[in-house]
Every structure is written in C-alpha cells, then in structure tokens.
Chains A and B, each alone.
Chain A
C-alpha cells in the first residue's frame, strides 16, 4: 500500500545530541516537504525538495538540514539539539503538479530536555 512513513513517532533527547528524523514514501512522489508545528499553532514550512539532489529552505528559518539522495527518502537532521527545537515535525509528499494534494506522515514529536 502506497504511504508515507515517519520515524520515530516520539523522541526525547538531551541537549547537544545529533538527531535524524526519518521520512520515507512509497508513492514515487517528486516533491517532499517538512513542516514544523508547535502545539495548537500553525504549520510552518521549513524545508522542501522538488526531486533528487534538490533541497530548498522554507518560509520559517530552521537550524535543521535535509538531504534527498533517493526519491523515496527525505531525512531531517539536527546537528546539536536544543530545547527550542522541541516541536512536532510533519513530513508530506506530493506528485509534481499537486494533482492529488499533499499526503502527510503521522509526524514526529520531538522533546529536547
């Protein structure tokens, strides 16, 4: 079944640690996106990719980085986690023309202590 997967679902980690949030999709979508959402607040686009070896920063400045080496995989990395990075991170994908809209993963809730 075509889907988009995010792991881990929950992560509690200490300050200064390096973390990678995983996002994979099986739909062959060109475009992938990372959004950040604080509880009860709006979604903010932090990174997006239009295809392999393509990455762009989103509307909200983020200290995280992303890579797109394979079509299906779009991981997000924080080199040194801080409490200010505590948030929910949502990954989405779409075909080239948004013909079917976005498909979202279940999200990763990150807590940095």
Chain B
C-alpha cells in the first residue's frame, strides 16, 4: 500500500531564506505527483504537477523535482516571504489507473518577517 511521508512536519524560517520541503513515497510506480498549498481553513491550491516521465517543474520561485527510483520529491522555495506561510502537501497518483491521489501529512511552513 502506498504511503506518503513529508518531512519536516513543521518549519519556521526567517524571510528571504531558500528552503526545501521533502516528500517521500513507498511505491515508485506512480503516474504523477502534485504539490499543493493550503491556507488555514481553506481549500487546496495546486502549485506544481510533475508527470512520472519528468524530473522537475518550475513556477516562479517554486521548483519541484521528482526522483521516482528513490521515491522522493522536493519542493524548493526561493527567497521565502511571509505570504508563503501555509501548509504544503504532496500527493501521488498510482499506476495502474486508480486515478486517485494519496496525500502526505503536510509541512506547516511559517516565514517570519
């Protein structure tokens, strides 16, 4: 059974720091991986989607990488800002096509001004 783990569970950094959030999964046979952001009491906002054939995706200050063979993905946030404070979730979809995501437990990020 696929399990998704995110480390660290919580992270507090000063504004301007570059940071890395980690996501690991136990079964490397994934279809794709999606990173989300969730603000308190709100829904999930999609940040980046990486297909199984891709190594990385970039959007603005965000860069997500995928290493299927080792069961890992990282989300890199450059020059962090207080507005980046949120919970970040990764989710993997499995092969064959159950076409559902399995979510990690999330990393709660706080960027201090």
Contacts and interface: CB of A to CB of B under 8 A. Distances in A.
B43 A98 contact: no
A109 B89 CA distance: 19
A94 B93 CA distance: 12
Contact of A103 (B32, B46, B91): B46
Interface stretch (B14-22, B68-76, B98-106): B98-106
A112 to B, nearest CB: 17
A90 B43 contact: yes
**Dominant SS among interface residues on chain B:** strand
A33 B100 contact: yes
A105 B36 CA distance: 13
B83 interface: no
A106 interface: yes
A42 B100 contact: no
A31 B99 contact: yes
Contact of A106 (B42, B89, B99, B105): B42
B97 interface: yes
A48 B42 contact: no
14 contacts: A33-B100, A43-B89, A45-B100, A50-B99, A90-B43, A97-B97, A97-B99, A98-B93, A101-B46, A101-B101, A102-B44, A102-B101, A105-B43, A107-B41
Interface of B: 31-32, 34, 36, 41-46, 49, 89, 91, 93, 97, 99-101, 103, 105-106
**8 shortest A-B CB distances, which residue pairs?**
A101-B34, A104-B44, A101-B49, A107-B43, A106-B43, A104-B43, A43-B103, A98-B93
Interface of A: 6, 31, 33, 39, 42-43, 45, 48, 50, 88, 90, 92, 94, 96-98, 100-107, 109
